[in-house]
A and B are shown apart, each in its own frame.
Chain A
Amino acid sequence: MKEIVIISGKGGTGKTSVTAAFATLAKNLVLVDCDVDAADLHLVLTPTILETHEFFGGKTARILQEHCTRCGLCFEVCRFHAISYACRHTDDRPGMVWTIAPVACEGCGVCANFCPRQAIAFEDAMNGYWYRSDTRVGPMVHARLGVAEENSGKLVTLIRREARAIAEAQESELILVDGPPGIGCPVIASLSGADHVVIVTEPTVSGIHDLERVVTLAAHFRVPASVIINKADINRDNAVKIVHYALAHGVCVLGEIPYDPVVTQAQLVCQSIIEFSKSPASESLHTIWARLHQQVMKESGV
């Protein structure tokens, strides 16, 4: 069984469209959407949700006003500027009324620990949901991190583990992971320990800049990488630069996808590019998919 992760560094280069295309070309796979704060794969694959689970990623602090003596120690010890005061009183007790902004609370528990009156509750926080679903191409594990919530890395790790359990039980050959943009916490959680990472880029100065950072990240975690150049015809010179960069850094170039309005049209009717129609983009994705398969086999010495 192989776990292949699709990432991009820069957002909007076509990760999810490529993942959906691969999903309709692959056989016997399990899908995971690790872009937990702006998941989109479900918009194409329209999963039927079989199980919904709550995700508790960490804790959050809350001041119990009835016990608070308004000493302000919590404000002093909080390093995340999560505690603020209001001078408006609803009672005649002296001092400031302290409150904790949930969006800024990092869940460290320091305020609760040092409160002299135990007036701060420190409770498990429900940060979102994760789902086990079924799609027309196979099982899918996905999630929705609550808006303005934390712990995306933990949620990513959790859904990858669930997907692996399903894949093992069903003897699947492939786990296909749609990754998040960037290079931070959820990206690291998506790619560490995977068998192969596919980087979808575009021939723009930003695409190249972000590609270089994400190639370095994959090397840092020792995951073999390959690259797909999407919208390759928007700038030929930059496309050539990407090929040279990839070759110099041991990254396999899987191929190019031309700019094709079909990509947007397919998305609007919830279909992958492969399902939607025969087009320049779908033709190149067929070739790219075959090359990716060969490359992953080669890496595992088959």
Chain B
Amino acid sequence: MQIAIASGKGGTGKTTLAVNMARLLSRHESVQYVDCDVEEPNGHLFLHPAITQTTSVTIPVPEVNAERCILCGACSRLCQYHAIAALPALTMVFPELCHGCGGCLRVCPEKAITEVGRPIGVVERGMAGIVAFVHGRLNIGEAMSPPLIRAVQTYADPHATVILDAPPGTSCPVIAAIRPCDVVVLVTEPTAFGLHDLTLAVEMVRALNRPMGVVINRADIGDDRVELFCEQEGIPIWGRIPHDRRIAEAYARGEMAVDVLPDTIPCFTAIMAAIRSEAPV
């Protein structure tokens, strides 16, 4: 079972929920924590994994053999990303614009195009205690995170309970992360921004047709509009984490609530039980 922890708005507590759940679940079952927020991965700051395997992730980009190229421009006409241009004297490649679709290679009548790997980031794996750990780190200055996210996803263990930390937002990176998941937990907060971004996130999960529920973090800082929204939309609320300065301070230090604040354990246990009982998987 793959459980995605996502949210429209950033900073609502995705990583807090994901790492605490991974730690608690690992007491009873085989758990893997998969951090798909490759632009800003944070789970390792709490789980402190010993990284034992690092794999470079590349996307295939074209390389033009100038001797074979007849400058016909077929590649350039096919490319939707303006990543290859047939100029009067040579065909030029702009690797950072290439999405790696392979169209140019296929369309070239002279077989003048081959592909080389362009590194966009790394996947790092290891163990954090008894929690299996995987995350991706996007190279800084690199625009395209979805191929790296898909690469991270391939390491998800089908035999373990997978807690997948998704990137924020509602567009391509988060879609790439949660598309293979069985159930989506949306973390929000009871504020105007939290509610607005939750409505977008709900729309996104519906577009993907996945079962979902909501966890309200800092549940007592705002108003009840998030609760009303969930009720109207028929989305179950799987838990509420109270606002607690001690949790925020532990987070600031890189500590997990379930390790240093034992009185918070029942709250996280209840959330997991709710996910298990209500998610149809």
B89 interface hit (Cβ, 8 Å): no
The distance in angstroms between the C-alpha atoms of A268 and B225, with both chains bound, is 10
Q: Which of A221-261 contact B (CB under 8 A)?
A: 221, 231, 234-235, 238, 261
Given A108-B80, A238-B252, A264-B191: A181 touches B102 (CB 8 Å cut-off): no
Q: Which residues of A contact B81 (CB under 8 A)?
A: 108
Decide yes or no whether A174 CB sits under 8 A from chain B: no
Please, which residues of chain A bring their CB within 8 A of the CB of B248?
231, 234
Residues A103 and B175 in contact in the complex (CB < 8 Å), given A38-B169, A148-B170, A181-B40? yes
Q: B141 is contacted by which of A44, A147, A220, A270 (Cβ under 8 Å)?
A: A220
Give A220 to B138 CA distance when docked, in angstroms: 14
- CB-based contact A235/B192 at 8 Å: no
Chain B residue at minimum C-beta to C-beta distance from A39 = B196
Taking CB atoms and an 8 Å cut-off, the chain B residues in 10-42 that contact chain A are 10-12, 15, 39-40, 42
Q: CA separation between A150 and B106, bound complex, in Å?
A: 24
| A110 within 8 Å of B (CB atoms) | yes
* Closest CB in chain A relative to B172 CB, distance in Å: 5
The complex places the Cα of A261 from the Cα of B251 at a distance, in Å, of 19
Stretch from B63-71, B199-207, B227-235 contacting the other chain? B199-207
Residues of chain A within 8 A (CB-CB) of B223 are 268
Residues of chain B lying within 8 A (CB to CB) of residue A44: 192
Output the least CB separation between A266 and chain B (Å): 10
**In the complex the two chains form, what is the Cα distance from A220 to B139 in whole Å?**
12
B45 touches A209 (CB 8 A): yes
B97 to chain A, nearest CB (A): 11
Q: Is the CB of A11 within 8 A of B204?
A: no
Size of interface on B: residues with Cβ below 8 Å to A: 57
B10–A11 touching, CB < 8 Å: yes
A149 to B175, CA, bound (A): 9
Min Cβ gap A41→B in Å is: 10
CB-CB under 8 A from A8, the residues of chain B are 10
A261: B residues at CB distance < 8 A: 221
Q: Are B252 and A203 in contact (CB under 8 A)?
A: yes
**Known: A43-B192, A184-B144. Is A235-B78 also a contact (CB below 8 A)?**
no
The answer to whether B103 and A108 touch across the interface, beta carbons within 8 angstroms, is: yes
Residues in chain A within 8 A of chain B (CB atoms): 8-13, 16, 37-38, 40, 43-44, 58-59, 77, 79-80, 103-104, 106-110, 113-114, 145, 147-150, 152-153, 180-185, 187-189, 202-207, 209-210, 213, 216-217, 220-221, 231, 234-235, 238, 261, 264, 267-268, 270
Q: Pick 10 A–B contacts, CB within 8 A, sort by A.
A: A10-B10, A43-B196, A147-B170, A147-B207, A152-B172, A153-B143, A182-B145, A187-B39, A205-B253, A264-B222
A-B interface, 6 closest residue pairs, ranked by CB to CB distance from nearest = A11-B10, A12-B11, A108-B101, A182-B39, A205-B254, A235-B252
Interface residues of B (CB under 8 A from A): 8-12, 15, 39-40, 42, 45-46, 78, 80-81, 99-103, 106-107, 138, 140-145, 167-173, 175, 179, 191-193, 196-197, 200, 203-204, 207-208, 221-223, 245, 248-249, 251-254
